[in-house]
Structure 1
């Protein structure tokens, strides 16, 4: 049985591309988001995020009438929930996942559910979140049955199908990547596969909902641990006066060694976040995963300390100047190269802390954004040439393609990515 109407709840970096891919297959898609500005932008056939190829897709499907955005859910045959899963504000050293966005999305779609509908949680979530979502739906709609109540005979099908895409390549990877399908029952998985096979060319691999949730967390925790090893190496090599970039290149010549590259920390909505979902569930057992998180979270402070040393060295070399006369340049604010995404960005965190502690000027170059968010204080955004010429201390934080030439021939340089 094919799908004629699909609803995507949450039109961000995952939801909007997913909605666009379904709509490009001539299926009516209702995109739902609480952000009225994003809704209006999409309904004009424009996009509010940076993602290659997506603007052309959205423009076409909106013009053809296959995609519309709204702030209120409407009836559909399948609902994909792609909302954030942040952390609760707490003094606890181990962050606690905040499922309130998933809860709100569940309660929003509940009134328009009908027998035979499919609900898929795409949001990266702690283990058990899909079952919790199904429980919220069951509480809101006692007239319908759900998998935890009726098993294979449930009125509503429930599954967890995490996204596994790379920002900057989302459109291609949504189509080509394998998909983990975690239904609460076998029939739930079968129905979810029918949905994704609308455009997915990769293999749809079936498991249960809990394993699907854990699979996504495991993938990103694996990368976090590997990055932590590289970041720890970089700090050790700095103390031992060893070029870490040369060291890693040499070590990787071993046929069974593949060390990743160090950086200023780990950011984004996945690798910097997902390991905590595992740690929060099993704090006494996730020792290696926790240690990796602590190593990567400590790297921004290490970079800031390197900048402090550079300021001190500059002032010693220029005794007529004071700290207020020193201008710091931060190259890159996004959490990874060639995107506009600032979520959980260690580069942005470093720049903001420098601006807070430094009495002089802090300038930034971020080629992928036109303006800084309202919460960013004391940083001025400028062009590459302007910032380079005006600055005394240069801090390379993100290896954007615009920075891949040796732009700064200066001893007052902290290159956290090893490209200069």
Structure 2
């Protein structure tokens, strides 16, 4: 039986996927309200295919609890934020989960850390916790790192088809964990050592962050001299060895906006390109805010309260707001002692910010200028309704005449 610890955006889909493929699973989370919701037969976030996967797992007998279980295998999938001052990984949730596992696990158990962590985190924080509880690693407890590879918006497909990495002290234990993930994963599963597994996951997300930063910096350069960054990127990408990404209003989510900071925090004198790239991406919400003010001045708009931000989530067609560029922009506005921007997102039904709307028509009636922050399917399907508005399109999806771009 597998005890999956942490039932958020990563742990829950993992638990459901294993259960629906014949593995006995109990999911554990300290959040009683979340556990009660799952027990009542409801998922806790929106995602294509998640409801069907949830039903399949329920049919297979998955259970949910606030208690850690006595079993032979644990998968720890809890958040790993970073300290915004030191840029180092904050392993407190992982440490807490491992301590709780140690309180109930039998000798011979395998503990799999699925949370994304910086290289050396298991050596620095996890091993000492296990040893402090009187266990000998490699004899009493087997330690494995199997970093998650899930992208919100395409979770079910990614779980089934993305390649996986298993890091283990012992090759035999690594192969056993590989077999567990192979119960559902159709991608290639590589077994390596723990520190390599830690590093590869962080490097993957850092590569993406640096490439996004290059596109964002191009947007700033082109704006400075009134050049069309999108046309320039389109032409450059005609070269067979060039593939520049699209610029945007910032970077959010649980991976690209966080994980590269782990390397900056751990290797501050070495990770110079990464550091500057992350600062470039983090500066994009401020850049968008300045564009709003420039366009307002150009179009003679005097009321910031007549400007609306479309989209609160960090990417299209998901309800995940973690590190959202829109939230970052609103925080930036508050730091400048200004408020008033209106906000609407079709996937966020609860009030989470001031001046939030829950209906597209009402939102559009209340504003003269729309800033497209997220390319949800809804706005793509209702683009014609923006024809009488001033539009700043940060996602390059609007082909109406007179639209402003980054």
Alignment of 1:391 with 2:367, yes or no, is yes
Residue by residue, what CA displacement relative to the aligned partner does 1:219-240 show, whole Å, maximum 9, x if unpaired? 0000000000000011111111
User: 1:239 matched to which residue of 2?
Assistant: 224
Displacement of 1:382 after TM fit? Answer: 2.7
Displacement of 1:22 after TM fit? Answer: 1.0
Q: How does 1:5-404 map to 2 (within 5 A)?
A: 5-62=1-58, 64=59, 66-88=61-83, 92=85, 94-131=86-123, 132-140=125-133, 142=134, 144-147=135-138, 154-314=139-299, 317=300, 323=303, 326-354=305-333, 361-373=340-352, 376=353, 378-404=354-380
- 2:349·2:358 contact (CA, 8 Å) conserved in 1? no
Displacement of 1:410 after TM fit? Answer: 4.8
* Aligned length, in residue pairs: 395
Do the aligned partners of residues 307 and 116 (structure 1) sit closer, same or farther apart at CA in structure 2, a change above 3 Å counting? same
Displacement of 1:43 after TM fit? Answer: 0.7
Displacement of 1:360 after TM fit? Answer: 6.8
Which whole-Å CA distance do the structure 1 matches of 2:283 and 2:389 have between them?
A: 25
User: 1:151 matched to which residue of 2?
Assistant: none
- 1:127·1:213 contact (CA, 8 Å) conserved in 2? yes
Do the aligned partners of residues 74 and 414 (structure 1) sit closer, same or farther apart at CA in structure 2, a change above 3 Å counting? same
Displacement of 1:87 after TM fit? Answer: 2.1
Displacement of 1:358 after TM fit? Answer: 7.8
User: 2:390 matched to which residue of 1?
Assistant: 412
| TM-score using structure 2 length | 0.92
Which whole-Å CA distance do the structure 2 matches of 1:282 and 1:381 have between them?
A: 43
| TM-score using structure 1 length | 0.89
Which whole-Å CA distance do the structure 2 matches of 1:60 and 1:256 have between them?
A: 43
What's the C-alpha RMSD, in Å, of the aligned pairs? 1.9
- 1:120·1:160 contact (CA, 8 Å) conserved in 2? yes
3-state SS, counterpart of residue 210 of structure 1: helix
Return 5+ residue gaps in structure 2 as ranges: 399-406
3-state SS, counterpart of residue 136 of structure 2: coil
Residue by residue, what CA displacement relative to the aligned partner does 1:193-242 show, whole Å, maximum 9, x if unpaired? 12212211111101111110110110000000000000001111111111
Displacement of 1:38 after TM fit? Answer: 0.8
- 1:371·1:381 contact (CA, 8 Å) conserved in 2? no
Displacement of 1:185 after TM fit? Answer: 2.1
Displacement of 1:60 after TM fit? Answer: 3.6
- 2:368·2:389 contact (CA, 8 Å) conserved in 1? no
3-state SS, counterpart of residue 253 of structure 1: coil
Return 5+ residue gaps in structure 1 as ranges: 148-153
Which whole-Å CA distance do the structure 2 matches of 1:357 and 1:194 have between them?
A: 54
Residue by residue, what CA displacement relative to the aligned partner does 1:149-190 show, whole Å, maximum 9, x if unpaired? xxxxx2221111111122111112111111111112222312
Displacement of 1:97 after TM fit? Answer: 1.6
User: 1:150 matched to which residue of 2?
Assistant: none
- 1:157·1:187 contact (CA, 8 Å) conserved in 2? no
Displacement of 1:363 after TM fit? Answer: 2.1
3-state SS, counterpart of residue 404 of structure 1: helix
- 2:213·2:277 contact (CA, 8 Å) conserved in 1? yes
Which whole-Å CA distance do the structure 2 matches of 1:233 and 1:372 have between them?
A: 35
Displacement of 1:114 after TM fit? Answer: 1.3
